[in-house]
Chain A
């Protein structure tokens, strides 16, 4: 089955710096890769996604890149702000469902 790895598990950056979270997947049939942000005490919320026929997608300060050959995709957050502090999950489509990575706790230090 599909296996999704995510690194790092924790990440601390200074406000204004960039943050990068990387995920790898194992099933070459996966064709859709969403990223979720989970704030403390809340459910995960979709922040950006990418389809397998696209190499990069950007939405304001957030971007995602996909390398199908290497089976990895990354989340890039620029000009980080304190409100970016949260747990971030990557996911890969697998059949009728998704497989999620273990999560990255991002802390943006003022």
Chain B
């Protein structure tokens, strides 16, 4: 049971390049989400999914795309990287949608630098 696995751990991109951050969970969780973490700003929600085939926007969705073709995988795509997307990205999952007692499990993070 690996929990939430993110790859890559570190990535440097040039402005305008595209890339995909991979996320997989092996806990059969319905709910998955992507956050970005910036200094002094906590964790901000980018996109989330309440089940396979269902995705929705969070607080800061611009510049990112997601899809959820399987329960296990929830990749995050950067369409045309910009320096403002330099951040640490966390994938997370939980058994159901957020609410009392519904623990969210986070991955180890992906450090992305856009130059």
Contact = CB atoms under 8 A, between A and B. Distances in A.
Nearest to B50: A96
Contact of A9 (B4, B33, B40, B44): B40
A98 B42 contact: no
B106 interface: yes
Given A43-B90, A44-B90, A100 B43 contact: yes
A96 B98 contact: yes
A96 B94 CA distance: 12
Contact of B107 (A36, A43, A46): A43
Interface in A76-110: 89, 93-98, 100-103
Interface residues of A, number: 27
Interface string A54-90: 0000000000000000000000000000000000010
Given A41-B109, A96-B56, A98-B45, 18 more contacts: A6-B42, A31-B100, A32-B99, A32-B102, A41-B108, A42-B108, A43-B4, A43-B90, A44-B106, A45-B106, A49-B100, A51-B100, A51-B101, A93-B100, A97-B45, A97-B48, A97-B58, A98-B98
Interface of A: 4, 6, 9, 31-32, 34, 36, 41-46, 49, 51-52, 89, 93-98, 100-103
